[in-house]
Amino acid sequence: MLRFLRPNFPEHLSDEQLLVDYVGGNSPRALGMLYERYMPMVYGVCVKILKDSGKAEDAVMAIYEELTRKVKEHEIESFRGWLYVLARNHCLMEWRKAQRRPTDHHAPEDMVHYDAIEPVFEYELPQGTSALERCLAELSELQRTCVTWFYYEDKSYKEIADQLSEELGKVRSFIQNGKRNLKICIEKNS
């Protein structure tokens, strides 16, 4: 009777428990709950490989469908790792299929890794300073401002966007592109 009164909080159940519940047939919704935990990460991987947020969204749902079939067919030890492989493979396959009608020639393996911490900040000040200063000067004004404010004045994206009256997305873009240009410039000069 008391167990009956206990509310069902799926958030406290482990991945493996939810999986067992689903495969066992007791809890048809358990898989959805489980997938929802990883959904943003699966989405991120899909965006990386498919290079399109709309296609990534559709891919996430398609992977879910594949999941509903495959969990019953396979013995899964670690759901997280297995899901990662499933998601990657699905997106790579979809990417290759799309390549039959070539629109874009990058292979996902060639994709640039977006480093959050640029090596430039690892350079010792004495040598790096002049190169850094010179390269900063070579950035566009907006890129330079955003990079300076973000890295040297510790401002947040929102603060920068408000002060410059720019869109948030644009600020992110300026910072990322600015950083990349700095990296290229500094590598050229050393």
Partner 1 sequence: MITKSPNTQINHKMSTNPYHDDKRLLELLERWQSGDFTRADEQELQSLADSDDFRREAVEGFWSLPETDHSQHLSALRQRLRQQSGHGKRAFFPQLFMAAAAVLLLVLAVVWLIPSGEKTATLAQQETAPAAPAAEQPIASNLPEMKSSEPEASRGKTSPALDKMSRSVVADNQPTGLFESGPAASDAATEVASSPPAPIQNQGGAVMDEVVVSMPPARQSDTEMAQNASEEVDMIQGNSAPRAKAQKEYADASKAKDAMKKKAPALANESAPAEGWAGFQDYLRKNARLTEAARQNNITGKVRVRFQLDSNNQPVNFQIVQSLGYGCDEEAIRLIKAYSWQRGKTAEVTVDVPFNR
**Residues of span 6-45 touching partner 1 by CB under 8 A:** 6-11, 15, 28-33, 35-45
Give how many residues touch partner 1 by CB under 8 A.
77
- Stretch of residues binding partner 1 (CB under 8 A), selected from 59-67, 138-146, 182-190: 59-67
Instruction: Please say which residue, 64 or 183, places its beta carbon nearer to partner 1.
Output: 64
Query: Where in 82-101 is the site for partner 1 (CB under 8 A)?
Result: 84, 88, 97
Instruction: Please say which residue, 122 or 141, places its beta carbon nearer to partner 1.
Output: 122
Q: Give the shortest CB-90-to-partner 1 separation in angstroms.
A: 11
Q: 50 and 91 in contact (C-beta within 8 Å)?
A: yes
Q: Give the shortest CB-41-to-partner 1 separation in angstroms.
A: 4
One of 70, 172, 180, 183 touching partner 1 (CB under 8 A): 172
Q: Is 137 in the site for partner 1 (CB under 8 A)?
A: no
Rounded to whole angstroms, how far apart are CA atoms 48 and 91? 9
Instruction: Please say which residue, 7 or 102, places its beta carbon nearer to partner 1.
Output: 7
One of 51, 70, 180, 183 touching partner 1 (CB under 8 A): 51
CA 188 to chain centre: 29
Q: 20 and 29 in contact (C-beta within 8 Å)?
A: no
**Tokens (6 digits) for 140:** 């566009």
Helix, strand or coil for residue 6?
A: coil
Q: Give the shortest CB-185-to-partner 1 separation in angstroms.
A: 15
Q: Is 185 in the site for partner 1 (CB under 8 A)?
A: no
**Tokens (6 digits) for 114:** 């977006």
One of 92, 173, 180, 183 touching partner 1 (CB under 8 A): 173
φ and ψ of 125, to 5 deg: -55, -50
Contacts of 85 (CB under 8 A, 6+ apart): none
Counting beta carbons within 10 angstroms of the beta carbon of residue 71, is it exposed (0 to 12), middle (13 to 18) or buried (19 or more)? buried
The H or E element containing residue 145 is: helix 141-147
Q: Is 61 in the site for partner 1 (CB under 8 A)?
A: yes
